[in-house]
Every structure is written in structure tokens, then in C-alpha cells.
């Protein structure tokens, strides 16, 4: 892999600017003096990496599509991600005071307002992705724009939008992010509490953990399985959905959607769908699965040795709360090795795609390395 000449910092900055321009336009559809809208803006426009929407854009570009087609779903995913952070920070959950370097939503407003701001971001996200043509650019936002113009220049056909609604609702819902949050709240501590009872500890990582030995699984190995599943659901599912959403936005579909795929091969997508089929979708998914888990492993590492002034949030909280984390199970050095293995697996999956894909996939490869080496 040669990402030395690829300027990831410039790429992230450019794409972040695009996403934030659209997020701002989405918020400007509402009266800015409303307390609810102020709370939504406080959290949604507080900065952050915008990693998930950028992954969607990078996936579209990797298959040679028009990234603008992914903008509605990319914005929706970022709104859902922000809602999850607002709720995660609440006193009933993580009880955090800072997020992205500023007071958390319930600290800046009230607990009730924060809950409702999260609810509003979640629900409006589905309006964005299901009916992007109805999100109008108000005349006072752009004096040169027609009053009935959508803020999105282009967007996918209706059948693709329906696929995207299904994708992100599943990733964020009962069998996705929300279940991961439940597992996190009910999860075992490292030293005291036993694992919660579960019939669903079947997640197998693409990279073996250091504790797989024979048919017997130690307590640490069981906790490792639990931890991997927790973070696959809580963090990984939405990262996977981000990459998949980018591909689906331009008609690159999984095999099980073959009927929809046949209907969606319009002139707009015919060349892409013919050249990049379900195998491409599967390899992009494998990439996303690996970086999703790697993201959480590095998050746990940063909670141990990260700089709060850079991260914009406190460090050391996992240890104080006796939380089950990768460093508590593996130790810091083994956790770093595990994260590196996951990132290598992600990059390897991209190398299995056609040669002309390789240059266009440089942003995805560089993002994988960024996840491993990030400091916030």
C-alpha cells in the first residue's frame, strides 16, 4: 500500500467542510430561536471528525461514482451518530460533562432538552434520507437560489433511498447500535461483575484474539467475545453502514438485494453496477468490519493514555469505572497489536479489488491508518 503521497489531512478537511455545509443547511430549515433547534445545533455543529459521512463519500469515490449522491445519507448518518452521543452522555448512561471540547448537551441546556434534541436528530435523519428532494433551500439562505430548490443537487432514485432507510435503521436499531448501548450499560466490569446472560455471543472477529486455545474458553476469552460483540453493535454497525451506504447510493448492492439491484440498474448506475457487483460490496463490508472494531480498540487505548486537551473529553474514566475494555483484557501493548492487525485486515480486503480500484481506494486505506494512529 502506498499512501505516502496521499494528503489525508487535506482530504478530511475538504470532505468535512462539505458535510458541515449541508448539515448547517438542514438545520436552517427551522426557526433558529427555538430551544430545541439550539440544542440540536449545539451538538450537531460542535465539530468532530465526521468520520462516518466521510467513509460514505470515500466508498462512492472508490467505485468511481458521484459522491454527491451519498450526501443525503451521509448527513443522516452523522445526525444519528450525534443523537447517540447526546444520549450516551446523559446522567442515566455515561454522565459525561464534555463532548468535543464543549459542555455536553444536557449540561448546556437541560436533561429533558438533550433527550428531545437527540430524538429530533434521529427522526429527522430519516426525512433527509427518504425524501431529500423535500429539504428545500430557503431563499434567505442563498439569494441566488430558487425558493423551491432542494439543498441536495442530486440524490439516488426512490428504490435506492428505500434500501438506505432499511440499512441505517437496522444498523442503528434493536439489533444494532441500541443493543450495543444496552450491552455496554449491562456489561461486566473487569474485576467484579459476571457477564450478563446472553444467547448471542457468537461474533467471530476476522482477527483471532490472543486467548483462543483449543475448545475451552477462559473467563477472559468469554469476556473478549462479549466485548467484541458489544462494540461490533455499538460502534461497528454504524461504521459498516456508512461504507455500505456509500456503495448502495450508486447502485453497488449486496447479493441478497438482487431483485432490487435489477430494478436499480438505471442509466445513472449501469456501468458501475456491471463493473462492481456484490463481491465489491462484500469486500467493502469486510474493510468496514475491521476498521469498526479497530476504532473502538484505539478508543479504549486513548482512554488510558490519550491527552484530554486534544481529545476534548476526559481520559481515565474506564479505569475509574472498572469498565471492561480491550486494554484491561489484553494490556496496552497487545491492544495496540490487535488494532494494527485489524487495520492490516481492512487494507488487505481492499487490495483484493480490481486494479483500477486501487488508486481510488487510497482515501479508504489512509483512513484505516488514521484510525490506528489517531490521537482523539
CATH number at residue 222: 1.10.600.10
* Mean pLDDT, residues 102-116: 98
The answer to which of 1-5, 14-18, 284-288, 299-303 has the lowest mean pLDDT is 1-5
pLDDT at 203: 39
- What average pLDDT does range 297-304 have in this prediction? 92
**What are all long-range contacts of 210-217, with beta carbons under 8 Å and residues at least 24 apart?**
210/330, 210/334, 210/338
- Please state the rounded mean pLDDT for residues 271-293: 82
Query: Rounded distance, CA 120 to CA 72, Å?
Result: 17
pLDDT of residue 14: 98
Domain-embedded: residue 364: yes
Per-residue pLDDT of 301-336, as tens digits, reads 999 986 776 655 556 666 766 788 899 889 999 999
By residue range, what is the domain housing residue 61?
8-373
Are 239 and 56 contacting, i.e. CB atoms less than 8 angstroms apart? no
| Residue 2 belongs to some domain of the structure | no
pLDDT in tens, 154-210: 999 999 999 999 999 999 999 999 999 998 888 655 555 556 554 444 334 445 554
Residue 116 counted as domain residue: yes
Instruction: Give CA separation, 325 vs 104, 188, 299, 302, 337, in Å.
Output: 23, 10, 10, 11, 15
Question: Which one-letter DSSP state was computed for residue 195?
Answer: P
The answer to whether position 320 is within a domain reads yes
pLDDT in tens, 165-174: 999 999 999 9
Task: Please indicate, yes or no, if residue 3 is contained in any of the structural domains.
Answer: no
Backbone angles phi, psi at 146, to 5 degrees: -70, 145
- Per DSSP, the residues of 220-285 read HHHHHHHHHHHHIIIIIHHHHHHHHHHHHHTT---GGGHHHHHHH--TTTHHHHHHS-HHHHHHHH
Count the domains in the chain.
1
Residue 100 pLDDT grade (very low, low, confident, very high; cuts 50, 70, 90) = confident
Which pLDDT score is estimated for 206?
A: 46
351: in domain: yes
Which DSSP symbol is given to 93?
T
Highest mean pLDDT, choosing among 90-94, 121-125, 279-283: 121-125
Amino acid at each position: 500500500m502506498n499512501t505516502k503521497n496521499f494528503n489525508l489531512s487535506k482530504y478530511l478537511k475538504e470532505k468535512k467542510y462539505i458535510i458541515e455545509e449541508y448539515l448547517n443547511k438542514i438545520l436552517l430549515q427551522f426557526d433558529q430561536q427555538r430551544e430545541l433547534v439550539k440544542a440540536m445545533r449545539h451538538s450537531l455543529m460542535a465539530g468532530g471528525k465526521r468520520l462516518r459521512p466521510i467513509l460514505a463519500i470515500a466508498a462512492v469515490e472508490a467505485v468511481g461514482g458521484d459522491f454527491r449522491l451519498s450526501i443525503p445519507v451521509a448527513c443522516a448518518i452523522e445526525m444519528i451518530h450525534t443523537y447517540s452521543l447526546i444520549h450516551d452522555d446523559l446522567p442515566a448512561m455515561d454522565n459525561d460533562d464534555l463532548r468535543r471540547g464543549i459542555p455536553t448537551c444536557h449540561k448546556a441546556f437541560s436533561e429533558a432538552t438533550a433527550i428531545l434534541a437527540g430524538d429530533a436528530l434521529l427522526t429527522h435523519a430519516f426525512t433527509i434520507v427518504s425524501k431529500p428532494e423535500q429539504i428545500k433551500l430557503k431563499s434567505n439562505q442563498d439569494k441566488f437560489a430558487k425558493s423551491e430548490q432542494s439543498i441536495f443537487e442530486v440524490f439516488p432514485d426512490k428504490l435506492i433511498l428505500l434500501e438506505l432507510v432499511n440499512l441505517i435503521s437496522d444498523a442503528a436499531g434493536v439489533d444494532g447500535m441500541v443493543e450495543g448501548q444496552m450491552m455496554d450499560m449491562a456489561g461486566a466490569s473487569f474485576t467484579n461483575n459476571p457477564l450478563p446472560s446472553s444467547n448471542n455471543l457468537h461474533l467471530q472477529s476476522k482477527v483471532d484474539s490472543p486467548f483462543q486455545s483449543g475448545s475451552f474458553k477462559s473467563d477472559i476469552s468469554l469476556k473478549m467475545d462479549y466485548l467484541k460483540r458489544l462494540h461490533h453493535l455499538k460502534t461497528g454497525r454504524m461504521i459498516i453502514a456508512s461504507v455500505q451506504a456509500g456503495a448502495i447510493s450508486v447502485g453497488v448492492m449486496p447479493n441478497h438485494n438482487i431483485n432490487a439491484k435489477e430494478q436499480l440498474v438505471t442509466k445513472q448506475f449501469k456501468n458501475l453496477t456491471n463493473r462492481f457487483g456484490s463481491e465489491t460490496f462484500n469486500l467493502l463490508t469486510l474493510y468496514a468490519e475491521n476498521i469498526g472494531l479497530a476504532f473502538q480498540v484505539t478508543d479504549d487505548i486513548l482512554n488510558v493514555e490519550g491527552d484530554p486537551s486534544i481529545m476534548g473529553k476526559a481520559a481515565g474514566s474506564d479505569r475509574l469505572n472498572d469498565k471492561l475494555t480491550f486494554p484491561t483484557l489484553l494490556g496496552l501493548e497487545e491492544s495496540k497489536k490487535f488494532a494494527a492487525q485489524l487495520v492490516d485486515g481492512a487494507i488487505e480486503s481492499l487490495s483484493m479489488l480490481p486494479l483500477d480500484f486501487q488508486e481510488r481506494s487510497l482515501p479508504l486505506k489512509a483512513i484505516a491508518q488514521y484510525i490506528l494512529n489517531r490521537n482523539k
